[in-house]
């Protein structure tokens, strides 16, 4: 009987000792409660508590990711749907406050609603087209607003991302048609600019040739003999089939074609 009592006492002691030990894993903090009231915060590692009286609730302070599907209206009243994602972590120094006011499931209670509210608030500031063309600005404004909202709950935002923007099929088709039209306008502008350049070049060449001829005339270089020479250099050696008095404007009677070069 004595042995049974001793054995039972040892078993009870072992159970009490085992119940008094707890472990807080790395990347978490432990909230120790006594009769459901917060008693203290425990750092990662092995700790001691009063068996059957104290309880330990672990809260992660590691980086976590949450992703939700959000829907909102743009400034020009287009329905916008998107998948938004956030990386965040709990401020471990205020874990007790978060536990007392929200609980260990704070992510479900505050993160998802904050994402929805932020997306709707920021999206309403931009038109549907601006959401696409100014996507980085939209993301930065949303991240700034979300950071301010969650800081009240001691949740630190590390990064906010807009995975995609989706619009109605009709609006998507309208955007595509507008882009095609704008591209056509740009192409037409380029062709017109090139045509203007070509016209200006032709005018400049003609003016240059006229100026050169005028200079030759003014200097006396454009003599009848020189004009006859220019004619002969361009002549293929074939006489006109119809000759008039005007055909003798150039006298070629003294010109003998170079038959050697033709052979």
Q: What is the pLDDT of residues 152-185, one digit of tens each?
A: 999 999 999 988 888 777 676 666 666 666 666 6
Calpha distance 109→255 (Å, rounded): 107
Q: What is the mean pLDDT of residues 224-239?
A: 64
> Comparing 93-97, 205-209, 236-240, 255-259, which segment has the lowest mean pLDDT?
255-259
pLDDT-wise least confident of 129-133, 151-155, 230-234, 248-252: 248-252
Strands 28-34 and 37-42: antiparallel
Kindly list the domain boundaries of the chain, sorted by start residue. 2-60, 64-167
| Cβ count near 242 (within 10 Å) | 6
pLDDT of residue 216: 63
- Beta strand 28-34 with 54-60 is antiparallel
What DSSP state is assigned to residue 94? G
Q: Which residue has the higher pLDDT, 234 or 100?
A: 100
pLDDT(249) > 90 = no
Q: How sure is the predictor about 230, in pLDDT bands with cuts at 50, 70 and 90? A: low
User: H helices within the chain, ranges in order?
Assistant: 2-19, 95-101, 106, 112-123, 128-133, 135-151, 169-219, 224-234, 259-262
Are 119 and 66 in contact by the 8 Å Cβ rule? The answer is no
**pLDDT tens string 47-89:** 999 988 999 999 999 999 988 888 888 888 788 888 899 999 9
Least confident span in 67-81, 123-137, 149-163, 204-218: 204-218
- The matching CATH number, chosen from 3.40.50.300, 3.40.50.970, 3.20.20.70, 3.30.479.30, for 64-167 is 3.30.479.30
Residue 155 CA: distances (Å) to CA of 118, 125, 142, 149, 160: 15, 25, 16, 9, 13
Tokens of 96: 């007790």
Tokens (6 digits) for 198 = 């070509």
Whether this prediction's pTM lies above 0.75 is answered by no
What's the Rg (C-alpha) of the chain?
A: 45
SS3 11: helix
Sorting pLDDT into bands at 50, 70 and 90, what band is 196?
Answer: confident
Is residue 126's pLDDT more than 50? yes
**Angle, to 10 degrees, between the axis of helix 135-151 and the axis of helix 112-123?**
140
pLDDT confidence tier of residue 235, bands split at 50, 70 and 90: low
Instruction: Write phi, then psi, for 12 (nearest 5 degrees).
Output: -65, -45
Q: What percent of the chain has pLDDT over 70?
A: 72
Res 147: pLDDT: 94
Which one is predicted more confidently, 262 or 68?
A: 68
* Token reading at 220: 């006396």
Q: Rounded CA gap, 91 and 147, in Å? A: 13
d(CA 174, CA 180): 10
In DSSP terms, which residues pair with 31 in a beta bridge? 41, 57
């Amino acid at each position: 009987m004595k042995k049974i009592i001793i054995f039972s006492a040892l078993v009870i002691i072992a159970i009490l000792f085992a119940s008094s030990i707890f472990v807080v894993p790395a990347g978490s903090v432990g909230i120790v409660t006594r009769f459901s009231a917060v008693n203290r915060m425990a750092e990662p590692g092995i700790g001691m508590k009063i068996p059957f009286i104290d309880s330990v609730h672990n809260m992660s302070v590691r980086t976590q990711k949450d992703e939700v599907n959000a829907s909102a209206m743009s400034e020009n009243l287009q329905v916008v749907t998107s998948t938004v994602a956030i990386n965040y972590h709990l401020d471990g120094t205020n874990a007790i406050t978060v536990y007392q006011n929200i609980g260990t499931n704070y992510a479900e209670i505050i993160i998802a609603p904050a994402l929805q509210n932020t997306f709707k608030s920021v999206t309403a500031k931009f038109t549907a087209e601006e959401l696409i063309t100014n996507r980085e600005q939209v993301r930065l404004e949303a991240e700034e607003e979300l950071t301010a909202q969650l800081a009240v709950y001691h949740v630190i935002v590390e990064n906010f991302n807009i995975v995609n923007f989706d619009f109605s099929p009709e609006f998507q088709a309208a955007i595509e048609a507008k882009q095609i039209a704008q591209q056509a306008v740009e192409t037409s502008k380029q062709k017109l600019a090139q045509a203007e350049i070509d016209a200006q070049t032709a005018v400049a060449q003609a003016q240059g040739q006229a100026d050169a001829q005028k200079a030759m005339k003014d200097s006396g270089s454009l003599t009848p003999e020189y004009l006859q020479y220019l004619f002969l250099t361009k002549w293929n050696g074939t006489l006109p089939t119809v000759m008039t008095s005007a055909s003798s404007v150039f006298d070629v009677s003294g010109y003998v074609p170079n038959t050697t070069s033709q052979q």
